[in-house]
Structure 1
Amino acid sequence: MPATATDIPSFSSLQASLPTAYFFNCYAIELPPDSRSPLELYLSVVSRTPGWIDALMTLRNRIVGQLGLKNVGALSGVDSSKPVQAYRIGDQAGIFKLLEVHEHEVILGETDKHLDVKLSVAKQEKPGGTTVSVSTVVHVHNTLGRVYMFFVAPAHRVIAPATVSRLALPSR
């Protein structure tokens, strides 16, 4: 089952930042009942990143490095040996830092002088299943941030649903 574009959940911590966002979107997927925490779901999503997306991230890192932007590594670059219980606020979890942990949502993000990116993984239980929503909110600070988003936003609209859809695959 593919992920579909939807609104950012009304309970999301990201809601307050939407009026001033330069870019935002959300993709959701319906799963059977799922006992994983939002952080576990995030780690599952990024650890199963398709290879073509990591290849694009490598290309991105090479290009933006020439412009003075940060090399963020691979989206799948999480420490698979680190147990979910060991993560603390401020820890790196793949390309993002862990910012907030709530019962039904985890917020991760990255900030630099050009832009701020926040990612939410939220889960909602409902009869017979679980909805997992992955939302992204970006605030740009300058022209380089806007130029970067000009190229990244279209790619994100392909990468995000492809990555979120991997949650529907059987666990490895």
Structure 2
Amino acid sequence: MIGTVREVTPNVDAGALLSGAQFIDAFRVEVGAAAVNAREACTRMVLHGPRWIDVLLRLRNMLVTPFGLKTSGEGAPAPYGLIGLFPVLSETPERLIAGFDDSHLDFRLVVDVTDEGTGRQVTSTTLVRTHNLLGRTYLAVSMPFHKLVVRNMMGRIVGPALN
């Protein structure tokens, strides 16, 4: 159904994207016949979200700064620029990979756009590899919010410009 976000089994080569990832999940939304590419889908997901997500991000940045963790993509290579705080590492019209490596964990966001019999689908896959106790703790603390935030972000892909 167009606009319905659902959790799906991740269908990516985790070894190639982030070898050793301990956490992987994926969500999918159907966008019908909309001519959306991976960058536009990612931009719709990340930018202009509800204030509560911005508040959570600011809180996260305040809490992790004393530990020397990166905030808002600082110091991360971004060969294809930034989308919000995410450095874009590679990009085709069908797939965008964003993410960064930090001392506590490495993170990848993969946005895939595919054509199915029912129309186009966008899948967002998150991969995380932790390095130490701080990374494992950060992952455990953020997980209660992760699914809620990703579902909300995915729901923004089907917006007024795509209807």
Q: Classify the TM-score, shorter chain.
A: 0.7 to 0.9
Partner of 1:156: 146
How many residues align structurally?
156
CA positional deviation for 1:64: 1.1
Structure 1: runs of 5+ lacking an equivalent:
74-87
In 2, the alpha carbon distance for the partners of 1:131 and 1:125 equals 6
* C-alpha spacing 1:169/1:15, structure 2 compared with 1 (3 Å): farther
Give, as a single letter, the amino acid of the residue that structure 2 aligns with 1:138. V
Partner of 2:8: 6
CA positional deviation for 1:108: 0.6
CA positional deviation for 1:159: 0.6
What TM-score, normalized by structure 2, do the two folds share?
A: 0.85
Please state if 1:125 is matched with 2:115.
yes
In 2, the alpha carbon distance for the partners of 1:71 and 1:165 equals 25
State the identity as a percent: 29
Tell me the secondary structure at the aligned position of residue 115 of structure 2.
strand
Please show how residues 75-154 of structure 1 align to structure 2 within 5 Å: 89-154=79-144
Please state if 1:65 is matched with 2:49.
no
Structure 2: runs of 5+ lacking an equivalent:
none
Cα RMSD over matched residues? 2.1
* C-alpha spacing 1:106/1:152, structure 2 compared with 1 (3 Å): same
**Aligned partners of 2:30 and 2:121 also within 8 Å:** yes
Partner of 1:36: 36
Runs of 4+ in 1 over 6 A off after TM superposition: none
